[in-house]
Each structure stands twice: as structure tokens, then as C-alpha cells.
Structure 1
Amino acid sequence: MSANKPFQTYQNNSVNTASSGELTLKLYNGCIKFIKQAIRDMEEEKFEAKNTNVQKAQNIIQELMVTLDPKMEISQQIMPLYDYIQYQLKEGNIKNDAAFLEEALQYVTEFRDTWKQVIKQTRQSQYAQGARV
């Protein structure tokens, strides 16, 4: 148990000190992890575990939906995609059909990859501005 304590402390610190952009990236990565695990669970006919992992992915998408700023135009474009991901997760879970989960995984992966680029460009921009000061 004590061997996990340093890792748990690291994880807590990484969340507590992360920027909002990094936290969003962590949410996407967690969602991807849970969807992939749900697909494996489905293949192994571990339906209770599959259900748990799909629900975890759905909770993450729900959190991402709640954090959207409805006043921003991009939020109006993202919300229907999040709704669609939720639908795919629900259908995959109910029908035990990995194709639905794989499609949801594809969308979440695209969101994550785009978000990584945004963080990278923001850091580069901030670094360039800091170098000029």
C-alpha cells in the first residue's frame, strides 16, 4: 500500500497544479481509456465491467458538456457532437455492440488530439511573448 503513496501524491499534485487546458486533456485521455477498456470487457464478455467503464466515459463527456460556455459559438458546435458521443456510448452499452463504442472512441480521440494542438500552440505563443518581454 505504501508503494502506491508516492504515485498517488504525484497524481494528486498533477491534477491540483494543472491548467484548465491540461485538465480537459486529462478528461479526454481518461474517457479514451475507459472506452478502450469497455471494448475489451465486451470482447471478454465481462458485461458488468463493460457497463461500469461505459458509465465512466459517459460521466466524463457529461462533465465536458457542463463546462462548455454557451455564450461561445464554438460551444454551440461542440455540444451536438458531445450529445452524439453520449448516444453512441449508450447504444453500444445497451446493444453490446463495440462498433458504437469504437465510433465514440474515434470522436473522443479527435477531440483529444485537437486539444493537444491547442495547448501546444498556446504554450508556444506564451513562450514567444515571454521571450519578447
Structure 2
Amino acid sequence: MPVFTTQQKAYAQYKNNKVMSASAPELTLMLYDGAIKFLNVADYAIEKKDLEKANTNIIKTEKIIDYLRNTLDMKYPVAQDFENMYSYIARRLVEANIGKDREIVAEVNRHMHAIRDNWIEVMKANHVYVKDA
């Protein structure tokens, strides 16, 4: 069983509180940020030939995309646009993982940054407070 320092425990509690107190738009932003983080780790892992770590982080990104797809409310027309975008990203992630392809990881990362940046603008336009952005 791992032993955690007081600082590690405090940080874990902070992160938990941040998630538990976040609004739905903020949670979506956190998911986008998480996907970007995992893509960055996967890219570095591929560069260093750590294929297991690359696989793990690409799969983490796939799970985020799957979650985002599953939470779409298809009664809104824009949801189909998001479905198409997430579907494309999901396919590219599988291709990136199979080939451990840094170019595809970079492409998906660019898409995730664009989606995240647009989401922040939507949040601001709707007067949702954007922390750390």
C-alpha cells in the first residue's frame, strides 16, 4: 500500500473538492484539460519508446472522449456536430495507439486545444466564471 505525505493528501483533497464544487461547464473544461494532459504524456512516452505508458494515456483520452460522447443530449442539433467531432477523434486515437504515431497524437491534441479554447469562449459568453483559463 502506498504511503502518502501530508502534502500529497492535501493536494488530493483539493483536487477532489475542485471537482465536487465545479459546475457542469467547468467539469467539461476539466475533461478537455485532462485529455490534453494525457495526450502530452502519450506523446512524450512514444518519443521515449515507453509504449505501455503511451497506450495507457491514449486509452485515458479515449475514455474521456467516450464519456463526452455518452453525455451528449441529442435533442439539440449541435449535439450531432459534437458527436461527429468526437467520433473522428476516437477513430484517430485508435489509429495513434495502434501505430504509436506521434503525428496523429499531435493532430488530436490540436483538435482538443481548439475545442477547449472554444469551450472557454462559450463559458465566457454565457457568463460562466472560468478559473485558471
Give me the TM-score of the superposition, normalised by structure 1.
Answer: 0.90
Please report how far the alpha carbon of residue 4 of structure 1 lies from its aligned counterpart in structure 2 after TM superposition: 1.1
Q: Which runs of 5+ in 2 are unaligned?
A: 129-133
**2:61 aligned residue:** 57
Which of 28, 42, 49 is the matching residue for 2:46? 42
**Aligned counterparts of 1:22 and 1:109: Cα–Cα separation in 2:** 15
Q: Which runs of 5+ in 1 are unaligned?
A: 125-133
**Aligned counterparts of 1:96 and 1:10: Cα–Cα separation in 2:** 34
**1:13 aligned residue:** 17
User: Greater Rg, structure 1 or structure 2?
Assistant: 1
- Determine what percentage of the aligned residue pairs are the same residue: 37
Specify the code of the residue in structure 2 equivalent to 1:78. Answer: F
**2:131 aligned residue:** none
Please report how far the alpha carbon of residue 86 of structure 1 lies from its aligned counterpart in structure 2 after TM superposition: 0.7
Give me the TM-score of the superposition, normalised by structure 2.
Answer: 0.90
Q: Deviations over 1:59-110 (max 9, x none)?
A: 0000110111011100011101101101111101101211111111111111
Q: Is residue 104 of structure 1 aligned with residue 108 of structure 2?
A: yes
Count of equivalent residues: 125
Relative to its length, the structure with more helix (as a share) is: 1
The CA RMSD over aligned residues, in Å, is 1.3
Q: Following superposition, which runs of at least 4 residues in structure 1 exceed 6 angstroms of deviation? A: none
